[in-house]
Chains A and B, each alone.
Chain A
Amino acid sequence: MIRFEHVSKQFGSKKVLDDLSFEIEKGETFVIIGRSGMGKSVTIKHMVRLLSPDKGRIWIGDDLVSEARGKELSRIRLRFGLLFQGSALLQWLTAGDNVGLPLRQGSNMPQEDVDRLAEEKLKLVDLSDVFHKHPSDLSGGMQKRVGLARAIITDPEIILYDEPTSGLDPMTSRTIDALIESLRVKLGVTSVVVTHDLHSALSIGTRIALLEKGKMVEISTPQEFIRSKHPAVRDFLDANFITKKPDWETHPS
């Protein structure tokens, strides 16, 4: 569904993606983890051509997104929903209007139907009573969920989530995980999830990829992932206390 072929990307003298190749299947939930600043957001932005590669090609199904422009690009982008790392809500619109924006501006749906759908999607992300509030009146985590509701309102076939659960409490995070999982099971949505939350990675991912120094050093199922011998993976798991107990458990004072 999404195929990276030898993609390289450099910002000035800083190499971010280095000959990166991988493929994401239809109906998969592909989780990308990695340290901060390793290029996870950059990878996601390449999929919708907010950035284009210096070298290499990116395919979305049969569409070559890395060279698309104009109408062609609009058509490809309509297949996507994207949750930005920083939510990117329009500040002068209410939460409800933000969620309904893609339908209000991109289709001829009557206003009542748009509002009803927006309300529905807000419920899905566990938000009620925010419809008439402005983003500046919402907490960071709530803004994130409004952004998520906006990303899914057009029922896109591919959804890209840039850190959907960062800044959320564990209970709400599990709600979001359940939402991502149900979109995959019920609607066959292909998802790409960037996250620092290893718990959600292991529970929702059909495959997990670790991005390190511009390459995917490990791509495997959650079961294989926690048994991987790769040192970078081990570091990641240790840091999340998956394989090693924290000090306060092993040395109770």
Chain B
Amino acid sequence: MIITREPEFLPETPNVFARLGRAVLLSCRESGRALLMTGEAFLHMRTMFSTRSRFDVMYQLYITGVKSLGVITVVALFTGMILALQTGLELRRFSQQVNIGTAVCVSLTREMGPFMTALIVAASVGSAIAAQLGTMTVSEEVSALEIMSISPIRFLVMPRLVALLVMMPLLTVYTDIIGIIGGAIVGKTQLGVSFRAYFDNAVAFAHNKDLYVGLFKAMVFGVVITAVSCHQGFCTKDGAVGVGLATRKTVIVSFLTILVLGYIITRVFYK
């Protein structure tokens, strides 16, 4: 697949409907290209252990996984605390506050864990990918790679895809654990639920299925973030302004896609 594309010049139209129609057609085309690119990156994954790719893959794993850990810890802790407090206060009216264990555990593993992790990774890692690839595109570095017959998809996209596919589930598990601990702290200090009662309750009613669905979501979100950020990066034009725009669009489009897909996946698995 050729990444460097010719500049396009579409005629101006004053007609609102024509403009709307064009916007729809263009976004369909862009999504298609992003999907094709991601598909090709999946095919290139068979070379991920070769000497020429190994280092890049390792480096991306490190950047994606380790660098986001700090902010994810804080967000996860407070997500768990808010969940516990919110549901706990309601449950206390029926003297059922011991059930916050289940409430926090299920909603974190199934929904909030992957969702919060994906939002943070999209905002930090995704926007960084878009900015880097965007800068490379406008300074013709991507064209230079293509001229040297080095596939930008293998060289740039594949390591990032691997990193996000591996790290998203790991980070999600981490978010789940920290969040559940946050819930326990709130339960103990504010709702009078002992740690023992909290964890017993969590283990008794949570299903493995919740965890698996959550991890599946995390992987899907990882693919979404890679596809959106790399595609936006490669489509960058007009210098520094364009790089800013690509970053912005990456965050917006990945947030929306994550939100919608998150709903759809839950819907499919829980009738």
Residues in chain A within 8 A of chain B (CB atoms): 11-13, 48, 50-52, 69, 73-74, 77-78, 80, 82, 84, 86, 88-91, 101-102, 104-106, 154
Contacts and interface: CB of A to CB of B under 8 A. Distances in A.
A86 B239 CA distance: 13
Q: Which 7 pairs from chain A and chain B are nearest by CB?
A: A12-B9, A88-B144, A88-B140, A74-B149, A102-B148, A105-B150, A88-B141
Given A52-B6, A69-B2, A84 B149 contact: no
A51 B141 contact: no
Nearest to A83: B144
A77 B147 contact: yes
A104 B52 contact: yes
Interface in B131-172: 136, 139-141, 143-144, 146-150, 155
Interface string B1-42: 010101101000000000000000000000000000000000
27 contacts: A11-B9, A12-B9, A48-B147, A50-B4, A50-B143, A51-B6, A73-B2, A74-B149, A77-B147, A77-B148, A82-B144, A84-B140, A84-B144, A86-B140, A88-B139, A88-B141, A88-B143, A90-B136, A90-B141, A101-B150, A102-B150, A104-B52, A105-B148, A105-B150, A106-B148, A106-B149, A106-B150
A89 B155 CA distance: 15
Contacts of B143: 50, 84, 88
Contacts of B136: 90
Contacts, number: 49
A11 B8 CA distance: 8
A80 B4 CA distance: 17
A183 to B, nearest CB: 18
A77 B145 CA distance: 11
A11 B237 CA distance: 15
Contact of B146 (A13, A77, A86): A77
A82 B141 CA distance: 12
Nearest to B9: A12
A33 B146 CA distance: 26
A122 B52 CA distance: 22
A11 B7 contact: yes
A105 B52 contact: yes
Contact of A80 (B6, B140, B147, B155): B147
A115 to B, nearest CB: 14
Given A11-B7, A74-B149, A86 B2 contact: no
Nearest to A74: B149
A74 B153 CA distance: 14
Q: B2, B4, B146, B149: which has the most chain A beta carbons within 10 Å?
A: B149
Chain A CB within 10 A, most for which of B7, B141, B144 = B144
Q: Which of B52, B143, B148, B150 has the most CB of A within 10 A?
A: B148
A93 B122 CA distance: 25
Nearest to A147: B144
Contacts of A78: 149
Contacts of A69: 2
A82 B140 CA distance: 12
A105 B143 CA distance: 15
B208 to A, nearest CB: 42
Contacts of B144: 82, 84, 88
A154 B146 CA distance: 15
A50 B146 CA distance: 9
B146 to A, nearest CB: 7
Contacts of A91: 141
A90 B140 CA distance: 10
B148 A101 contact: yes
Interface in B99-131: none
